[in-house]
Chain A
Amino acid sequence: MVRNSFDKELEQLQSLMVKMAGLVEESIENSVIALKKQDIELARQVYESDDTIDDLESKIEKICINLIARQQPLAKDLRAISTALKIITDMERIADQAADIAELTIRIAAMKYIKPLIDIPLMADLVKKMVIKSIDSYIKQDIILAKEVCDSDDEIDDLFSKIVLELINIMKNNPETVEQATDFMFVVKYLERIGDHATNIAEWVVFNVTGSHEHMA
């Protein structure tokens, strides 16, 4: 075996990716729980962990750029590094949006919710599973799992339209709900975007394995 030190650096990159993925997973999971339980403490925690994730993103970015500059990566090595560079942006955005949800959760935590949350947690759970699955597909380099992620994006989009319509109706019937309903509107928009980022991750996993990048959702 040759190129030991390059392989070691690639392994280090991979383990940082796994670490970042774990933190992102935790963020989205906690942001959903905090929203459901109106848990300010947990929401704050999500909000604060965003900095750690941002730091990891720049650390990984630097490693990738140095590897490209110094190791002349080719074929699967080049794909692995480009994939990492692309995926961290999506992971960072997911964490940002989880933090945004946490921020809204804190804002409306003291109020009684205008409606029992049923579809939003349902959508949140689906999105969370999508994120977990996309990260899993990256770690295992499993394209079947990656394709499942892309397929579930339609379900998210349907729920999004359904919830938005429901919120519009609530606001029409009772203008006093506008403030909170708008916040929920943002929450579902963030969730919908997180689903898109999970899809992006899955698409990059397919690229990493097969060498071709297609938009699958």
Chain B
Amino acid sequence: MTNDYTITTKNLNLFYGDFQALKNVSIDIPSNQVTAFIGPSGCGKSTFLKTLNRMNDLIPNVKITGEVYFDGLNVYKEYDIVELRKNIGMVFQKPNPFPMTIYDNIAYGPRIHGIKSKSKLDDIVENSLRNSALWDEVKDRLKQNALGLSGGQQQRLCIARVLAIEPEIVLMDEPTSALDPISTLKIEDLMEELKKNYTIIIVTHNMQQAARISDITAFFLHGEIVEFGNTNQLFSNPKDKRTEDYITGRFG
């Protein structure tokens, strides 16, 4: 925990062609906390998440103005993209394990980053799986294909895969929307554990999930942040009427 804010954005605007998806987004995201983005479909929350590790680079016709800083450096000007994504890992909506063994899924990243020692890789695989609360379930079948795991296990494997490269931040884009309730709660418990060592930023359609797990919540609407603050406050006594209407289901 070197600084209070790990990610800072200043007047961030994003256009898909003529359509403006983000409007002057300026926030500071604190380290070692869970920050959740909520809002209706198309409000810009996922788009915003993707700007943080430049996942939008691959989308044609995207234009970005304004700044995103990670650990004080400009994400779009001062980072090599490989280095950036090593530090800012990502977990997606649908678990996407590689079609290889459980072990190789986890070892994949570290190998790419040049780690060859068997014992070192063994350690990384074990630690990552322990930290993603999957070790006990898979320790006897590390050499089996990862696609044989259940959806919830696959998602924890994907989290382990991210942890294996020791990022500072873990971005999660709807990480439990394809999972059953118990797997969902397991991932939620995991986030609570992970925030001791990582900064977690999560986009979720499930407002109750944001309420359960996050320390800080941002409510997005039409590409803007309407309200950003302490989760207790935002869910028990929001400041903005639009936030109130959204979280009480009286939206629109």
Which residues does chain A contribute within 8 Å of B186, judged by CB atoms? 2
Cβ A3 vs Cβ B185 within 8 A? yes
Which residues does chain A contribute within 8 Å of B208, judged by CB atoms? 72
Cβ B182 vs Cβ A70 within 8 A? no
Interface size class on chain B is 10 to 19
**A5 vs B235: C-alpha distance in the bound complex, in angstroms?**
18
In the complex, per-residue mask of B174-200: 1 if CB is within 8 Å of any chain A CB, else 0: 000000001001101100100000000
Q: Assess A66 versus B236: contact at CB under 8 Å? Given A6-B212, A71-B211, A72-B208.
A: yes
Interface residues in A, total, Cβ within 8 A: 11
Cβ A70 vs Cβ B192 within 8 A? no
Cβ B212 vs Cβ A70 within 8 A? yes
Determine whether A4 belongs to the interface, using a CB cutoff of 8 Å to chain B.
yes
Near A by CB (< 8 A), chain B positions 132-167 give: none
Q: Assess A70 versus B185: contact at CB under 8 Å? Given A4-B192, A5-B192.
A: no
**A44 vs B231: C-alpha distance in the bound complex, in angstroms?**
41
Cβ B211 vs Cβ A2 within 8 A? no
Cβ A70 vs Cβ B232 within 8 A? yes
Near B by CB (< 8 A), chain A positions 46-79 give: 65-66, 69-72
Closest B residue by C-beta to A3: B185
Near A by CB (< 8 A), chain B positions 203-252 give: 208, 211-213, 231-232, 235-236
Cβ A70 vs Cβ B189 within 8 A? no
Cβ B212 vs Cβ A71 within 8 A? yes
Closest A residue by C-beta to B247: A69
Which residues does chain B contribute within 8 Å of A2, judged by CB atoms? 182, 185-186, 188-189
Among the listed B182, B185, B188, B211, which residue makes an inter-chain contact with A69, where contact means beta carbons less than 8 Å apart? B211
Cβ B236 vs Cβ A69 within 8 A? yes
The smallest beta-carbon distance between B190 and chain A, in angstroms, is 10
B residues with a Cβ closer than 8 A to A are 182, 185-186, 188-189, 192, 208, 211-213, 231-232, 235-236
In addition to A2-B188, A65-B236, A72-B208, 16 A-B residue pairs with Cβ atoms within 8 Å of each other are: A2-B182, A2-B185, A2-B189, A3-B188, A4-B189, A4-B192, A5-B192, A66-B232, A66-B235, A66-B236, A69-B211, A69-B232, A69-B236, A70-B232, A71-B212, A72-B211
